[in-house]
Amino acid sequence: MRIEIAMSLACCVAFTTAYAQTPREGAHPPAGYTLQWVDDFNGASLDSSRWMYRTDVKAESSQRPENVSVSGGNLVLQMKKETHRGKAHTGGGVISKAQFQYGYYEARVKMFGGSGWHQSVWAMAATDGTTTYPEVIRTEIDGMEFDSATPQRGHMGLIIWQGPAKSTHLTCSPGVYQTALGFDATTGFHTYGFEWTAKSIAFDLDGERRCMLEYPPTAGEHDHLNFWLTALGYESRGKIDEAKLPGQMLVDFAAFYSKGASK
């Protein structure tokens, strides 16, 4: 019996190690980092042990769990024309139940291209999915904020919060909200990554370092963050193009890496 248990444990350890080391298309963790947490979205439905839903009402849409699914190896976030909680459109999103701090965050995503939608890969503390302004809010890292009316541009930056009423913004594109991506984010998958250390936050696109912002602990509280993947209606750069709805934001994988041995 003990031999069987030992063999079973050895099998599981080997499987876990192999899984952690399996190369993923589009994964670009910096040297020295090992995989700690990942979802490849290969199941038939969202893994509720890993994720909770974004369910707030914000800007031009109401975010619904019904707009979140897993299909064809992708997380699917749908954007729709439908009336819900006082809004004429609905979006969706997921938030990791696990929290992380220093390390490398990345997701491989294909954005939706009908105008009027804000799609994001980002990290911020969350108590649940009902608000993006919880009292615990301190560090917000916007790995990619993408407005669908401008498919070849995006925003990367940091918001330092002191609760939901006070904040300081740092950006990779001072003077303008968006920077050129060098590609159309709606025509294929691209990897959006950011590295958070005790001194700074660096932003990558497809493994290419684009920007670094200094962020020592003296600049703000370095709290623990949830990983967010979200899509909501937002018309600051163009009205919602209803002729292109429903739309889909697709996520191939989301991962977090840390320095040191893998778990």
Look at residue 16 in the predicted model and tell me its pLDDT: 38
pLDDT value of position 23: 77
Q: pLDDT tens-digit profile of 12-46?
A: 333 334 344 567 999 999 999 999 999 999 999 99
Q: Tell me the average pLDDT of the chain.
A: 92
- CATH code of the domain containing 81: 2.60.120.200
What is residue 116's DSSP assignment?
Answer: S
Partners of residue 106 on adjacent β-strands: 193, 255
User: Per-residue pLDDT tens for 192-204?
Assistant: 999 999 999 999 9
pLDDT exceeds 90 at position 205 = yes
Q: Measured between alpha carbons, how far is 228 from 126 in angstroms, rounded to an integer? A: 9
- What is the predicted pLDDT for the residue at 21? 54
Q: How far is CA 48 from CA 96, 98, 123, 224, in A?
A: 9, 11, 19, 20
pLDDT surpasses 80 at 6: no
CA–CA separation, 112 vs 91, rounded Å?
12
Assign 131 a pLDDT band (cuts: 50, 70, 90): very high
pTM score of the predicted model: 0.91
Of the candidates 118, 123, 92, the one whose C-alpha atom is nearest the C-alpha of residue 107 is 123
Average pLDDT over residues 233-249: 96
Give the separation between CA 181 and CA 183, rounded to whole angstroms: 5
By residue range, what is the domain housing residue 35?
A: 2-259
| pLDDT confidence of residue 210 | 98
Is 234 within 8 Å of 177 (Cβ atoms)? no
Task: Provide the pLDDT for residue 233.
Answer: 98
Amino acid at 188: G
pLDDT tens readout for residues 246-257 = 999 999 999 999
Segment 212-229, tens digit of pLDDT: 999 999 999 999 999 999
Q: Are 186 and 115 in contact (CB under 8 A)?
A: no
Predicted confidence at residue 237, as pLDDT, reads: 86
Q: How many domains does the chain have?
A: 1
Residue 9, pLDDT > 80, answer no
